[in-house]
Structures are given as C-alpha cells and as structure tokens.
Amino acid sequence: MNVDTMRHIDHYAGVPLTFIGTLIKKSVHFFVPPKKIKPKNVLLIELSEMGSAIIVDPAMRKIKENIDGELFFVIFSKNKVSLQLLETVKEENIFTIDESGLIPLATSSLAFLKWCREKEIDSVIDLELFSRFTALLTAACGAVNTVGFHAFHNEGLYRGDFLSKKVAYNSHQHIAKNFIALVDALFSEKQELPFTKRIISDEEIVIAKATISDEEKENVIAVITEKYEGFEKEKNPVILVNSNASDLLPQRRWDKENYGDVITKILAYNPHAIVLLTGAPAEKEGAQLLTDYVNDTRCINFAGAVKFLQLPALYSVSKFMLTNDSGPAHFASITDMHTFVIFGPETPALYSSLGPTTPIYAGMSCSPCVSASNHRKTPCSDNQCIQVITPDWVFNTLKFKLDELNS
C-alpha cells in the first residue's frame, strides 16, 4: 500500500475504531480495574520509520538495564533490517507486520496479538506520534502498562484513550529525548499529568556504535575495487552521496542537478577522491541518472552494490556522506563517519542524526511544515526550503572535511 492509502485508512477507519475501543476499555476497567505490575516483558511499537529504529536505541538500552525480562519490537516487514544493525533486540523478539496489502496487514496484525500473549507481554510503549493503528495494537495486545504520546488538548490528534501513562509529545526537543520520556513514564512509580517532568540531558541519547570486523571492511573494499579499477584505500578517499528520499515525504528531495554540481566540485577539489552514489537496488536507475549527469569515472553508481547490513562497514571506510534527510543519516550514526544532512520540511532540532553530523537547513518561516499534528503531510508543492539551498552553500559547508583530507 502507498503512504496516502495508509493515511486514509488510518483516519477513516482508525478514528471510529479508537472511539469504540475506548468505550469498551473504559467499561471493562470500570468493573475490573487493571492491576499495577512492574514492567518485565516490554514491547516497543514503531512500524513505519527505519531511521526511528536507530534513534530509539538509547531508549531501548535504558529499558534493558531496568527490566528482568525481555525487550520486544514490532515493525513493518520491509523495515525490520534496520533493527539488525545494532542487534539491541534479539531476532526472535522481533515481530513483523506485512504492510503489502489490506488482507496481509489484517492477518499479520491478528497473528501479532496472539504472539504478544505467547510472549507474555506486560508493558508496551507506542513510539508512533499519530497512528491510530498502533494505538489499537497497543490497546489489544494484552499489556497492563501502556505508554505513549497523548493529545491532551491538541486538536486533530485523536487516538482514543488507551494509555495507562500519557506522555506529552514535545515538538521542541529531539525525538530521541521524547523516546526517553516514554521510558521514564513506564518506570515511574507515581502518576504525573503529563509525563515526564524532568530535564533529559544530551548524554542520555548518545548512540551506540556498531562492531565492525576487519573482514567486513575488506569485503566492502573489495566491492569498491570492483567498481573502480585501480582503487587504493590509502590514496583514494571514499565520499558517499545519498540523493534518495523515501516516498513518505517527497518534499525532502534536493534536485539531481544540485547533487551533481556538488559532486563535480568535490572531484575537482580533490583529484584522488571517489564519490559513491549509494541507495537500495530499486534506486539504481535514479543513481545512474546522477552518474550520467556528473560524467566522471570517479563518480560511481553504487546503489545496491552492498547489502543493507554491510552499510556500517561501508561507512567505516568512507570519509563522509552527503545525504537527504532520510534513513541513511541515522544508519551512519552508529559509526564515526561524519554526515552532512540537507533538511527542508522537517527540522534538525527534532530529527538530526545522533552521530557526527552537520545539518544544512535554511529555517524558512514556513519550515518545518510537517509535524505530528498534520500526519507529516504538507500541502506544499513548491519546496523553497530545499530549493534555496545552493550547491555552493553545501560545498562550502562540507569543504572543511575535504581540507582535512589534504592536511
């Protein structure tokens, strides 16, 4: 299903279902008040964002430090691989929901509810900001402790009333800190309205780093050597460019010609550097258009050249990456490679990578134009927030990393 179809289903079916579900829940709890239990087997729900599966890692590690049981995760099938980069959640503790169609979505969701009871899930944290679907999964999974973001007096965010602990989503602090606030609420022994009433420091959202073997690095270097004849890792610094952005928010895309002009400047500035255009196998055709535009043997279509789980090794042998505001910026955060991330309709204040990074952001008066309150769907068809960012601006921003290569 495409993104808009999922949004429509979530709205037109989700609103009445969450309303009816709330009435049922309150009626049941009136006669049988829920028991208070200490969190043991904790489930996290984050379906649609691969990047969020990385950003939530500090919160997941905090959970693991505070429970005697197991940590579980449910995610859309196509996004599961993002959880395997750091392996914070055991493979057997990950449940995937098939989002390929309405019937697979329904059947896998029912299987999920059975799985929750088999795993004796007692606590669930809904990481989604606006999804009624995940609110219904939270309500039906059988957990006693239910934590998530609640609308309170905000209009347009109705998700029912299924939460035993309601957290106020803070649109002025990084999403990783919002996730920590959810964890705090789960383990709090007292009720607050709203949760969480404390300062969350930057030290609490430090991202874990991937363990990468020399063999993994050599395997990636071998692929680079196949793509660029005569490659020498000591002579040819590797620079990555990810020009792709998901269909979830096409307004994030910077024009191919702009990327091409920056790449041309990079190759002219360092005559030994090579630029690899990264992406999934399905993005190979688009990467080829950019390769053809640059028309330089040192600009290489690398989309699909390595497997997803080889990305940390690729990042570890590369000097830096230029990317749209998308998943790769977060995947790279588990390594020491620097990223330069172009932001437009979203803000780095909320979604910046937790690794070494430099955001490139115009901060126009209309930006960010997507948020939890509009389901990340903007009416904008003229993304000036991206268009005003010029190749010269981007090149001058990343130039200091090129200068480090020459020093």
Q: How far is Cα 237 from Cα 404, in angstroms, rounded to an integer? A: 11
DSSP reduced 3-state for 187: helix
What's the mean pLDDT when you consider all of the chain?
Answer: 92
Does the structure show a pLDDT above 70 at 248? no
**Which CA distances in Å does 369 have to 182, 347, 380, 384?**
25, 9, 8, 12
* Among candidate residues 344, 279, 356, the one with its CA nearest the CA of residue 320: 356
Q: How far is Cα 5 from Cα 370, in angstroms, rounded to an integer? A: 18
Of the pLDDT bands very low, low, confident and very high (cuts 50, 70, 90), residue 26 is: confident
Does the structure show a pLDDT above 80 at 327? yes
Which residue type sits at 154? N
Does the structure show a pLDDT above 80 at 62? yes
Does the structure show a pLDDT above 70 at 337? yes
Does the structure show a pLDDT above 70 at 247? no
Examine domains 3-205 and 214-406 and report if their fold is the same: yes
Does the structure show a pLDDT above 90 at 157? no
Does the structure show a pLDDT above 70 at 155? no
The runs of H, that is alpha helices, within 273-341 are 284-294, 311-316, 327-331
Q: How far is Cα 60 from Cα 65, in angstroms, rounded to an integer? A: 9
In DSSP terms, which residues pair with 338 in a beta bridge?
320
Domain ranges, ordered by start, for the chain: 3-205, 214-406
Burial 239-277 (b: 16+ CB within 10 A, else e): bbbbbbbbeebebbbbebebbbbbbbbbbeebeebbbbb
pLDDT at position 271 is 95
Q: How far is Cα 70 from Cα 122, in angstroms, rounded to an integer? A: 10
Question: Taking the CA of residue 299 as centre, how many other CA atoms within 13 Å lie in the half-sphere pointing to its CB?
Answer: 22
Contacts of 117 (CB under 8 A, 6+ apart): 142
Q: Which of 74-83, 298-307, 342-351 has the lowest mean pLDDT?
A: 342-351
CATH class of the region 3-205: alpha beta
* Among candidate residues 67, 62, 61, the one with its CA nearest the CA of residue 41: 67
Of the pLDDT bands very low, low, confident and very high (cuts 50, 70, 90), residue 131 is: confident
pLDDT digits (tens, 9 = 90+) for 202-214: 999 999 999 999 9
Higher confidence at residue 8 or residue 331?
A: 331
Of the pLDDT bands very low, low, confident and very high (cuts 50, 70, 90), residue 242 is: very high
Question: Taking the CA of residue 66 as centre, how many other CA atoms within 13 Å lie in the half-sphere pointing to its CB?
Answer: 17
Does the structure show a pLDDT above 80 at 216? yes
Of the pLDDT bands very low, low, confident and very high (cuts 50, 70, 90), residue 371 is: confident
Does the structure show a pLDDT above 90 at 251? no
Of the pLDDT bands very low, low, confident and very high (cuts 50, 70, 90), residue 40 is: very high
pLDDT at position 65 is 97
Q: What is the mean pLDDT of residues 264-293?
A: 95
pLDDT at position 266 is 97
pLDDT above 90: percentage of residues in the chain: 72
Q: Which of 223-227, 276-280, 304-308, 365-369 has the lowest mean pLDDT?
A: 365-369
CB atoms within 10 A of CB 295: 9
pLDDT at position 13 is 83
Does the structure show a pLDDT above 80 at 3? no
Does the structure show a pLDDT above 80 at 322? yes
Helices 14-31 & 3-12, crossing angle to 10 degrees? 40
Contacts of 170 (CB under 8 A, 6+ apart): 177, 178, 181
Cβ atoms of 239 and 276 closer than 8 Å: yes
pLDDT at position 28 is 84
pLDDT at position 378 is 80
Does the structure show a pLDDT above 90 at 152? no
Q: Which of 156-160, 217-221, 303-307 has the lowest mean pLDDT?
A: 156-160
Cβ atoms of 341 and 325 closer than 8 Å: yes
Cβ atoms of 77 and 159 closer than 8 Å: no
Q: What is the third-level CATH fold of 214-406?
A: Rossmann fold (3.40.50)
Give residue for tokens 């609103």.
Answer: 15
pLDDT at position 389 is 95
Helices 14-31 & 132-140, crossing angle to 10 degrees? 30
Q: How far is Cα 93 from Cα 115, in angstroms, rounded to an integer? A: 10
pLDDT at position 290 is 95
Q: Chain centroid to CA 165: how far?
A: 24
pLDDT at position 174 is 95
Does the structure show a pLDDT above 90 at 249? no
